[in-house]
Structure 1
Amino acid sequence: MIKAILVDLDNTLIANPDHAFARAFLEHFQQYLQDTLGITNANALFKEAIHNWAAPTYWTETNQTRLAQLIADQGCVPLEAAVLELMRFYETILPVMATHVQPIVGAASALSSLLDFSLDIVIATNPFYPRVAIEQRMKLGQLPVDAPYAFVTSSEDMHYSKQNPAYYAEVVARVGVEPDEALVIGDHLENDILNAQKTGLHTLHIDGEQIPSFEEAIQRLTQSSDWRSHYSPHTIHPEMIIPQWHGNIAALFALLAKVEDHYWQQHPFDREWSILQILSHLLEAEKSTHRARLQQILAEDNPFIVAPPPPGPDIPIYSDDGYAIAEAFLAERKKTTELIQTLTAKDWERPAQHSIFSKTTLVEMAHFTAQHDRLHINQLCQTLGHCK
């Protein structure tokens, strides 16, 4: 069942000739940082950031922070000053955008029709730019900016680019759906379609021929009243696992950045966990359950795996420092990642018997770890919503 639709922006919802826009953007970017900070190689820094955003590793700093750090290091200024200059730059770039971005006929009305469904709609643009620049392009494309989108991917909120499948895992974790409950609609075969599929999402390709436009895509998609139920869960493949783990960690740290000091130990309701307890549970589960379970399947022939008892409302916390717990959880997840990076195809299919799931395999248990992440990331998101 489809619960969320991720819609690409450039050349799906707005017409934006990529190469011409990129040239104009980089010229403006180079000139601005040379004038303000004396940086003469700003273009090289931006290209380094693009390479960085696609790297298949765990990131806890956002795309914007990592670009700003490159600028800060080169310009010998504090990180905060580099972030400020970046934001000032994006506020001045509208004239450059205006000469390249055009509306696509029918896209705005088709997007509005999607918003009428009980779905989470995500503007899933490549997060090279901050929200202010994305909204500028949306306005130029005559798209609604203040619509009730579930999420708009931007450089200050995201940790990967679309060149990395983990981008899609981060988005679904932020929205609170499973990968096979999400549908991506876009025009770029590699970035929008293949990388989304590698993470386990459904896709609809605007290829310019069979499906020539976003408007046509939505018309075909919604012809049947029960179209959302036409999409079945994907078979779980090993290549889905690490991108999902990467994206989940990124989503977790993105939410932690929104936690105010007095939130950490608050309980949204009686007998529900605080944020510190949620993080402590993730850490303990990684150490004592998730990695141990995979190790048992690798070490034994068709082992019987006993599910741990459900944790109660009074689980202990590991620290009063939420970020310290999150970093400890990340360190444990990296150990689990190292374990699975050397597995063979036969290893992934090793069988086991689970006290709840019955017959299972190592790849299914690794995927369950990703699902467990998302369950508690969603719990954290809901907790933040109630901590007022």
Structure 2
Amino acid sequence: MLKTILFDLDGTLLPFKMEDFIKKYFEELGKKFQNYFTFKELQNLLWESTEYMIRNMEVDKTNADAFFEDFYSKTTHSPDRLMPLFEDFYTNDFPKIKEVTKQSEYIVKAISLLKEKKYELIVATNPLFPKQAILHRIEWAGLNKDDFAFITNFEEMHFCKPHLHFYQELLEKINRQPQECMMVGNDVEEDMIAKKLGCITYLIEDYKIQRSENADTIDYRGKYEDFYEFVKALPLIK
């Protein structure tokens, strides 16, 4: 029986074009660290450490551990000097990126209706960012963090999408079986892969990301409005 809905965040709960987000993100981060790195140096360093974090499969190393392990191995600047800048950036500068994002009235209504119907809601974003950055984006979407029983983030998670280990760890944390869950997302390869564990999947197509023609992992698909209609048809959990 379906009990829990897992939601991707970027391009799903929060509408935006990924290229616009990345451009603005690096623009603001570059300003913050301009006394330590050129724009290109910082961009390359962040991409390399993010890729290292995504590849990491060590179960005792969080995503944050993996990212900063690689990041600080490639710079002579100390964590004591740079970490306060990272923390200040995500608190005070990251919110400027909101200008490239939107809200979907259908997502806001769907979340409200799912709560009324007693479904457990989870933010299952790819945990590449600190929790503070994820909470900002939930707010930009017109949603409340308290609506969600768990929010993935790089301080707590040990794996990234598209690894199935990410979904396995998440299901363990929320104590759910795959058959009790639906994964809703806009990325065919990163989100719909949850079907391989036994989750139901729903592809949001407004900001769809698809790198191949394979669609075997998609159970349902549609625009934001279609998803809202789908939610309206779901039964109340008793």
The verdict on a shared fold, with TM-score over 0.5 as the criterion, is yes
For residues 168 and 81 of structure 1, what CA distance do their matches in structure 2 show? 35
- Aligned counterparts of 2:60 and 2:80: Cα–Cα separation in 1: 17
Name the TM-score, length of structure 1 as normaliser. 0.52
Question: Pick from 207, 216, 220: which aligns with 2:226?
Answer: 216
The change in CA–CA distance for 1:159 and 1:42 in structure 2 (over 3 A counts) is: farther
Number of aligned residue pairs: give it. Answer: 222
Distance (Å, rounded) in 2 between the aligned partners of 1:225 and 1:146: 23
1:122–1:152 CA contact under 8 A, matched in 2: yes
Task: From the superposition, tell whether residues 180 and 71 of structure 1 become closer, same or farther in structure 2 (CA, over 3 Å).
Answer: same
Q: Is the 8 A contact 2:28 2:94 kept in 1?
A: no
Say if 1:107 and 1:173 are closer, same or farther in 2 by CA, change over 3 A. same
Counterpart Cα distance in 2 of 1:184 and 1:8: 8
Look up the SS of the partner of 1:139 in the other structure: helix
Question: Larger relative contact order (C-alpha < 8 A, sep ≥ 6)?
Answer: 2
Runs of 5+ unmatched residues, structure 2: 209-220
Residue in structure 2 matching 1:200, options 181, 198, 211: 198
- Structure 1 residues 76-87: aligned runs within 5 Å: 76-77=76-77, 79=79, 82-87=82-87
User: 2:185 aligns to what?
Assistant: 186
The share of aligned pairs that are identical, in percent, is 24
CA–CA separation in structure 1 for the residues paired with 2:229 and 2:80: 46
1:5–1:119 contact (8 Å) kept in structure 2: yes
Once the two structures are superposed, residues 6-28 of structure 1 have per-residue CA deviations (whole angstroms, 9 ceiling, x without a partner) of 01112222212101111221232
1:142 Cα shift? 1.4
Deviation at 1:46, TM superposition (A): 1.7
Describe the superposition over 1:156-211 as per-residue Cα deviations: whole angstroms up to 9, x where unpaired.
12222223222111111111111222110111111111x21233322111234961
- Secondary structure of 1:14's counterpart equals coil
Larger radius of gyration: 1
* Cα distance, 1:30–1:207 mapped onto 2, change above 3 Å: same
Answer yes or no: is the 8 Å Cα contact 1:166–1:199 preserved in 2: no
The alignment's C-alpha RMSD in Å is 2.5
- Structure 1 residue 63 displacement after superposition: 1.6
Do structure 1's residue 3 and structure 2's residue 14 form an aligned pair? no
Any unmatched runs of 5+ in structure 1?
229-388
Could you list the per-position Cα deviations for residues 199-242 of structure 1 after superposition, in whole angstroms to 9, with x for gaps in the alignment?
332211123496111x431422441537x8xxxxxxxxxxxxxx
**Is 1:161–2:171 an aligned residue pair?**
no
Q: How does 1:357-376 map to 2 (within 5 A)?
A: none
Contact 1:39 1:74 in 2 (8 A): no
Is the CA contact 1:161–1:167 (under 8 Å) kept in the aligned structure 2? Answer: yes
1:79 CA drift (Å)? 4.6
Structure holding more helix per residue: 1
The 1:221/1:143 distance shift into structure 2, 3 A limit, reads closer
Partner AA of 1:225 in structure 2:
P
Moved more, 51-60 or 21-30: 51-60
